[in-house]
Structure 1
Amino acid sequence: MKEQIKPNMDVIGADGVHVGTVDRVVGDRIELKLSDSFGAHRGHHHYIELGFVAGVEGEKVRLSANADIAVTLEEEQSGRPVDLG
């Protein structure tokens, strides 16, 4: 499935809500575009572990978790979980 994930694909939660846009795949993680960073995390790449990918449907990467949960599972470039609370 990893080889099916391409740049500019939408990453969506299991609920269909947009989580981000693929910049590239790095190791076992999807790196999201910088334009998807927000708030205090603006300017940092965020990553989603490939283990959370449920499947690739056309031009969309669907995650196994809803968007609100998936966003809390993102990691910053430093590898630390993002604190959104």
Structure 2
Amino acid sequence: MLLTKISLIDTGNNMNQLYIYNYGNSAVNISKIFINKVEYKVSFSLPENGMVKLSSLVNFSKNVNTVGICANGNLYVFYVK
């Protein structure tokens, strides 16, 4: 059974300060990202123990309140302060 383990690291509430971290022991395939209810289709494989800046996957310039990540077929929702 594949366990998806991802987290959103928040060092601020804009796109340049948000990171997706895969703390699992296998790659995570990201197919969609939702930012403040707006859907972005992506195709990105994040390796085990890998981290990627959210702004490198989608272009969004406003403040971020909610991030949804569709990874390995599951939706993970994170709230940003």
TM-score above 0.5, yes or no: no
> Which structure shows the higher helix fraction?
1
TM-score between both structures, scaled by the size of structure 1: 0.30
> Which structure shows the higher strand fraction?
2
TM-score between both structures, scaled by the size of structure 2: 0.31
